[in-house]
Amino acid sequence: MQNGPPLGPGAVLVVVDMQRLFAEATAWCVPTLTTIIEPIAALASAHPTQTIFTRFMTPATVEEAAGSWRRYYRRWPMVLRGNMDAAMFELVAPLAGFAPPAEICDKTTFSAFHSAPFCAALERRRADALVIAGAETDVCVLATALDAVDRGHRVVIVADAVTSLSAAGHRATLDAVFARLDQQLEIADVDAVLAAWPQG
């Protein structure tokens, strides 16, 4: 990668919300999500023990949500856990097979850093660099990346392994938002990440 040294043993692949909820015919379907499964699988297969998958878990009811999240779920009642088959919150099939040894951490907010299990998983791996992939570029990927930057982690966004329902939001986040953080955040493709992150 052009902006930094090779990735070392403290690098962790964070795969954000690659769930059936976003891949199948639901109100939150991201049609392009299937296009990033193969690139993510390539990364996870190279470093399975250093891979963490997050899952976005909605509350069972609107009343379980806090603050403005209640307004949010009044707009999206069909994705509440109480209204959906629990299987829809599982990882998409090609990626589910990586865990274990990869780890799955659930979250209830856009940023993975509001999940205590996720933070504990990073600590166990002595993470110093996060390689971030998944969905959506301009929502949960963005929120997680910004929190990682605030905590002083080196952050690498894998450009061909992130996607969004909003093509405009996806491009603006990669081209404008992430580009402004060039001293703390790098953007690379899968091949460059694999070349910079030796196996074993």
For 180-194, the DSSP string reads: GGTTTEEEE-HHHHH
How many Å is the Cα radius of gyration of the chain?
Answer: 16
Q: What domains appear along the chain, each with residue ranges and CATH number?
A: 11-57+88-196 (3.40.50.850)
Mean pLDDT confidence for 148-158: 97
Query: What is the predicted pLDDT for the residue at 200?
Result: 62
The residues near 115 (Cβ < 8 Å, ≥ 6 apart) are: 54, 105, 106, 107, 108, 109
Is it the case that residue 44 has pLDDT exceeding 80?
yes
4 has a pLDDT exceeding 80: no
* pLDDT at residue 127 tops 70: yes
Examine the pLDDT at 2 and tell me if it is beyond 70: no
Mean pLDDT of 52-73: 97
Predicted model pTM:
0.95
